[in-house]
Structure 1
Amino acid sequence: MTRRIDVFLQYYKPHVSGLTNMAATLAEFAAAQGYDVHVHCVAKAGASTVSEIDGVTVHAYRRSFSLGRGNFSLGFLAAAWRVRSLPGIAHFHLPLPESAFFAWTLRHRPLVVTYHCDAPMIGPLGTLAAKALDISHGALIRKSSATATSSMDYAENSRLSKLFRSVGSRGIPATSLDRAGGSPRYAVADRRQIGFLGRPTSEKGIDVLIEALDRLPEDVMLTLAGPLDGLSDDVGYDRARLQQLIDAGRVRSLGFLEETDIADFYASLDLFVLPSTNSFEAFGIVQVEAISAGTPVVASELPGVRTIPRNTGYGEIAPVGDAEGLAEAIEAALSSDYDRPRSRAVLESVYLPPVPENAYMAIFDSLSSEAKRS
C-alpha cells in the first residue's frame, strides 16, 4: 500500500522563504523514500492548479481574500475536507491561521506539526491577531501525534511553551544546504566584507545593521544579497540612507542570487550577519549555510537563533536591536580565529543533511507503521 503524506502550508514553490524551503526539502525527501506526497497551499496569484514538482504533487488553490500578511483560500479549506478519510499522515507547517479548522477536519488522521515561529505582537491589531493565531495553533498541536520546533530553546521561550512541554515537543533543526566549496568571486580587494542574505523586511533588523556599519572602520563593507525592490513600504529602515551608503561604496547590493551563486557569496565574506529583531526569526538557516562555507556569523540574541553560534562556537551573539552592541560583536568576530574543524563536526552531526530529514522520516515511518497496524 502506498504511504501518503498531505502537507499543508500557506505558500510553496516558487515562493522563497525559510519555511517554504524547509517544507519543500522534507516533501521531496519523503517522496524519494517512497511516500506519495501531496502539498496543499494557497496560490500566489491566478487560478487553482495541480502540478508535479520534484516528485511532489502540488495543489495550489486560488486565493479568496487577503488579511494582513495572510492569503486565504476556500479551496485550501475544502482540500482538507476532501482528504479527511484518506489513509496517511497530515503534516502542517505553522504559522497557519486555519489550524483549528484542520484540527477538527483531520482529527482521525495522524497529524505532524512543525511550528516555525510565534507571530510577533506589534500594535493592538497585531497583538489581537497573534493571540488568535496562538489559539488556533494550540488546537492543532493538542491533536497532533508529533510536534517539532527548530530548537528546544525556541520552544522553551515561545508563548506556547507550556503546551509544547505538555505534548512532548521535540527540537529538530530546520533543514539547510551544505554551501562548502564556493569560490570567492564576490570578494572586494582591500575590504573586509560582511554580508546579509534574504529579503530585507522589517523584522530582519537591517536598520540596526546600517547604524552599526556607521560605527565600524571604513574598510568594512556590507554586501546585501536579496531583492531591494518589490518590498512593502514598511521595510523598517531608511531607504534613502541605504542608497547613500551604496553610492558611497560602503554598501553593495547584489540583488537576488540564483541558487548556483549562493555558495560563492558565502565564500566571499569575512563575516555573515543576521541582526533579526523579533520572533518571526526562530532559527536562521542562513547561519548554518554560512558556517558550512567556512564563514563565521554574528546573530541576534533571539531564542533559537542564538543556538547556532553557541553550539558551533563559530561566531558571536549580539544584543537584539542594539547597533552599538552589534558593531562590537562584528569587530570581535572579524578579529577572532575560530575553530573551523570543530564547527564543521557540529554541523555534520546536528544540522546538515540528512540529519534533520532523517529525524522527520523517523516520525513519518513510525506513524505510518502504527496506522497500518491499526
Structure 2
Amino acid sequence: MTYDVCIAVNYYAPYVSGLTETARVVAEGLAARGWKVAVVATRHDPALPLRERLGGVDVHRCPVVATIGRGLVSPSFAATVRRLSRRSRVLHLHLPMLEAGLITGLRPEVPVVSTYHIDLWLPPGLVARAATAAVRVSSAITLRRSAAVVVNSDDQAEHSRMWPSLRRAKRYPIAAPCLDRRGGSPGYRTTSGPHIGFLGRIVADKGLSYLLAAFDDITDPDARLLIGGDYLTVAGGSVIDEVRRAARRDPRISILGLLRGQQIDDFYASIDVFALPSVAESFGIAQAEAMMCGVPSVTTDLPGGRYPVTATGMGAVVPPRDPAALRDALLETLAWDASVRERGAARARDLFGSESCLDRYEAVLKGVQA
C-alpha cells in the first residue's frame, strides 16, 4: 500500500504524553480528511499488536529488545521507517528521536518534515549526559535534512539548545493540537471550596513536588487538589510514591489516575484553576485545553511551556521550583471572575483548536511535496 504520509514517533497510542497526543491527533485528523496515513512506532507494551488500524491510521509497531531509561531499543525501527517512507509522499518525524539521524543521514527518498517538540530532559547522570548528547547530534542531522520544521512556538525554538539548527531551518510555529473539551460534568468536585487540578504524566519533570508543597500552604479545609495522569506505564519511571505520601498526610489531595475521553472533560469541569509546575516543558496540551474550557493555568516560566499563558493572558507564570510563588499565583487566579475567564477561553480556542492546527500541518505537508 502507498501512503500520503509516513509518521515516525517512538511512543504512540495507547501511550499518553503531549508528544504522543500531538502525533495521534495529527495522524487521525489527516486520515479523517482523506489522507492515507501510516505511523511507525516502537511496541512499548509487548501486549500490543505489531500491526493494527487505529482511528483510520495504519499503525506499524517495531519490537523492543531493551529499555534504557525512557529510551526503547528497537533494532528494526529505523529500517521500518525508511521502508515505509519509500512508499509515501512525505516522511514526518517527531523529535527528539535517537534514530532520526540514522533515518535521515542516508538521505531519504522523500521530503522530510520534522516536528521538534522539546530538548531532551533526563535526570542527572552519566548515562543521561551521553544519551542527551547523542540525541542532540541526531536532531542536528535531521533538522539539516528537513524540508520544513514545525515547532510549538517561536518562544520554544529560540530558547532551545538546538536553536543554531532551528534558526537555519524553514520553520513553522504551529501550536500542539488541543481538543475543545467543554461540556463536562463536575463529577470530581467534592466540596464548595477551590479545586486545583493537575493532569499529565506523574513524572519528575512535571515538578509535582513543588505543587504539593504549594498546596500544603493553602489552609482552606475545603480546598482540593486533583491529580490526574498516568503513573503505571510512563517512560523513565514515575514519582507516584511521593504523591501518595502527600495524599496520606493530606486527605484533601485526590489521585485520579489516567483519565481518558469524557473523564478528561469532567476533570476540567471540576476545577477552578489548572497547575503546571514543570521543570521541563515544551507547550502543555492539558493546560491549553483547560484554558479553552475557561480554566486559567498557573505554569512555570519556561520557554514554550509559558507560551499558552503569555499568548492568551489566561493564567499566570511563576519561577520554576518556587512553591511560595506558585501558591500565591494559584490563590490570586482563583479569584478571577467569570467574564475574565471567558475572554481568555475564547482567545485560547482561537489559537489552539485542533482544526486550525490541522489546517496548518496539512499546508506544510503539501507544501514540501510541490
TM range (shorter): over 0.9
| Structural RMSD (CA) | 2.1
- Which digits, 9 at most, give the CA deviation of each residue in 1:143-163, with x for residues without a partner? 000001111100000001121
Counterpart residue number, 2:6:
6
Give the drift of 1:228. 4.8
Return the alpha-carbon distance in structure 2 between the equivalents of residues 185 and 239 of structure 1.
22
Question: CA 1:84–1:356 in 2, change beyond 3 Å: closer, same or farther?
Answer: closer
Contact kept? 2:295, 2:341, Cα under 8 Å: no
Preserved CA contact (<8 Å) 2:295 2:345: no
Aligned mates of 1:185, 1:96 — CA distance in 2: 39
1:334 matched to which residue of 2? Answer: 334
CA distance 1:56–1:141, shift in 2 (3 Å): same
Alpha-carbon distance in 2 for matches of 1:48, 1:342: 45
Which residue of structure 1 aligns with residue 143 of structure 2?
141
- 2:298/2:317 contact within 8 Å kept: yes
Match 2:225 to one of 222, 227, 234: 222
Q: Give the distance between the partners of 1:307 and 1:45, measured in 2 at CA.
A: 33
Residue of structure 2 in register with 1:271 after alignment? 273
Alignment of 1:182 with 2:184, yes or no, is: yes
| Counterpart for residue 92 of structure 1 | 93
**Is residue 180–residue 349 contact of structure 2 (8 Å, CA) maintained in 1?**
no
Tell me by how many angstroms 1:68 deviates.
2.0
Alignment TM-score, normalising by the size of structure 1: 0.91
Aligned to 1:30: 30
Matched AA of 1:159: R
Contact residue 312 and residue 342 of structure 1 kept, 8 A: no
Name the CA distance, whole Å, in 2 between partners of 1:326 and 1:335: 15
| Deviates further, 31-40 or 120-129 | 120-129
* Mean Cα deviation higher: 67-76 or 157-166: 67-76
Count of matched residue pairs:
365
Aligned counterpart, 1:322? 322
The more displaced of 152-161 and 248-257 is 248-257
Could you tell me how far apart the structure 2 residues matched to 1:336 and 1:239 are?
Answer: 28
- Contact 2:155 2:307 (C-alpha < 8 Å) held by counterparts: yes
**Offset of residue 365 of structure 1:** 1.6
Alignment partner, residue 243 of structure 1: 247
After TM superposition, give the deviation of residue 76 of structure 1 in Å.
Answer: 1.1
Equivalent pair of 1:206/1:236 in contact (CA under 8 Å) = no
Query: What residue in structure 2 maps to residue 196 of structure 1?
Result: 198
| Displacement of 1:213 | 1.0
- Please say if residues 268 and 293 of structure 2, whose CA atoms lie closer than 8 Å, have aligned partners that are also in contact: yes
Q: For residues 291 and 196 of structure 2, what CA distance do their matches in structure 1 show?
A: 13
Match of 1:165 in 2: 167
CA drift of 1:3 comes to 5.4
Alpha carbons of 1:250 and 1:77: their partners in 2 closer, same or farther (altered >3 Å)? same
8 Å Cα contact 2:7-2:93 kept in structure 1: yes
Partner AA of 1:311 in structure 2: A
**2:152 and 2:223 mapped to 1: Cα distance?**
32
Residue segments in structure 1 that go unaligned for 5+ positions in a row? none
User: TM-score of the superposition, structure 2-length normalised?
Assistant: 0.92
Cα displacement string for residues 9-37 of structure 1 (whole angstroms, at most 9, x for unaligned residues): 10111111111111111111222222221
Residue in structure 1 matched with residue 211 of structure 2 by the alignment: 209
- 1:102 maps to 103
Distance 1:266 1:98 in 2: 37
One-letter identity of the residue aligned with 1:265: F
Structure 1 distance, partners of 2:80, 2:290, is 38
Give the drift of 1:360. 0.3
Task: Give 1:43's aligned amino acid.
Answer: R
Q: CA deviation at 1:80?
A: 3.0
Is contact 2:10–2:97 with CA below 8 Å preserved after alignment?
Answer: yes
Rate the CA distance shift 1:74–1:277 in 2: closer, same or farther, 3 A: same
The structural deviation recorded for 1:266 is 0.6
Change in Cα spacing, 1:126 to 1:91, as seen in structure 2 (3 Å) is same
TM-fit CA distance, 1:242: 1.4
Secondary structure of 2:184's partner? coil
Q: Which amino acid aligns with 1:273?
A: A
Taking the aligned partners of 1:120 and 1:341, their CA distance within structure 2 comes to 34
Deviation string, structure 1 residues 45-92 (Cα, Å, up to 9, x no partner)? 338622111111111011122222111212212213423543410000
* Structure 1 residue 334: Cα displacement: 1.3
CA distance in structure 2 between the aligned counterparts of 1:228 and 1:90, rounded to whole angstroms: 32
SS for the counterpart of 2:178 is coil
Question: Within 1, Cα distance between the matches of 2:345 and 2:16?
Answer: 26
Using the alignment, how far apart are the partners of 1:15 and 1:343 within structure 2? 30
Give the aligned residue type for 2:294: G
> CA 1:155–1:237 in structure 2 vs 1: closer, same or farther (change >3 Å)?
farther
Segments of structure 2 that go 5 or more residues without pairing to the other structure are none
**Do the aligned partners of 2:272 and 2:334 also contact (CA within 8 Å) in 1?**
yes
Q: Post-superposition shift, 1:297?
A: 1.1
CA positional deviation for 1:2: 6.6
What is the Cα deviation at residue 241 of structure 1? 3.3
CA contact (8 A) 1:314 1:340 kept: yes
Return 347-356 or 264-273, whichever deviates more. 347-356
